[in-house]
Amino acid sequence: MNLILNDLPPLHWALAGLGIAGITLALLLIGSRRLGISTGFEDVCSLVLPAPYFRRSAVVSGRPWRLPLLCGLVLGGFLSAVLGGGWKPTWALGMFDTAIGFGPAGKLAWMFVAGLFIGFGTRLAGGCTSGHGIFGLANLERPSLITTVTFMAAGIVTTQIVYRVIFPLTGL
């Protein structure tokens, strides 16, 4: 299977896993930073929201390194497109288009609601795929094992319901 992005062939999984481990270790070795992206959402919120939660030092002190890292992620996606067949704005969403078929307005609504679950859920859980699933598991932290097993299970159940029951995809 190729990527939605310019129909590019994917990197080998072992190479990608090694690269992600390399980034994780580099952050730790260079700045004593634990990999974690979802806390960056709090950093962004802390720029505009006055709630005490966003004023605590765990959030504010992380901004000088986490916000540049988040900007880097956007840049990395941009470079990936530019160097891999060209960058152009797109609504393409792979099997969503085949089985669900919502237009732009429907996609925006769908994604906004999904984003609410992601933003609220990751912060309630104390991390996401990177903070719990990669760093937390590699650092042998029990809360990360519990959280990772839970979000993987919830993702599996949700996708099975969406693509095998509500919008059955032929060929599955």
Site for other proteins in 124-143 (CB under 8 A): 124-143
3-state secondary structure of 23: helix
Q: Is 166 in the site for other proteins (CB under 8 A)?
A: no
- The reply on whether position 76 binds other proteins by CB under 8 A is yes
Sole binder of other proteins in the list 7, 92, 165, 166 (CB under 8 A): 92
Out of 7, 60, 101, 118, the only residue in the binding site for other proteins (CB under 8 A) is 118
Q: Give CA–CA dist 128/58, Å, rounded.
A: 17
Contact code string over 34-53 relative to other proteins, x by CB under 8 A? xxxxxxxxx-xx---x-xxx
Question: Binding of other proteins at residue 78 (CB under 8 A)?
Answer: yes
Alpha carbon distance 2, 91 (integer Å): 17
Report helix, strand or coil for 11: coil
Asked if 73 is part of the footprint of other proteins (rule: CB under 8 A), the reply reads yes
- Token pair belonging to 119: 């933003």
Compute φ and ψ for 112, nearest 5 degrees: -65, -45
60 binds other proteins (CB under 8 A): no
Q: Does residue 101 interact with other proteins by CB under 8 A?
A: no
- Tell me: does residue 168 bind other proteins (CB under 8 A): no
Question: What is the spatial distance between Cα 64 and Cα 40, in angstroms, rounded to a whole number?
Answer: 11
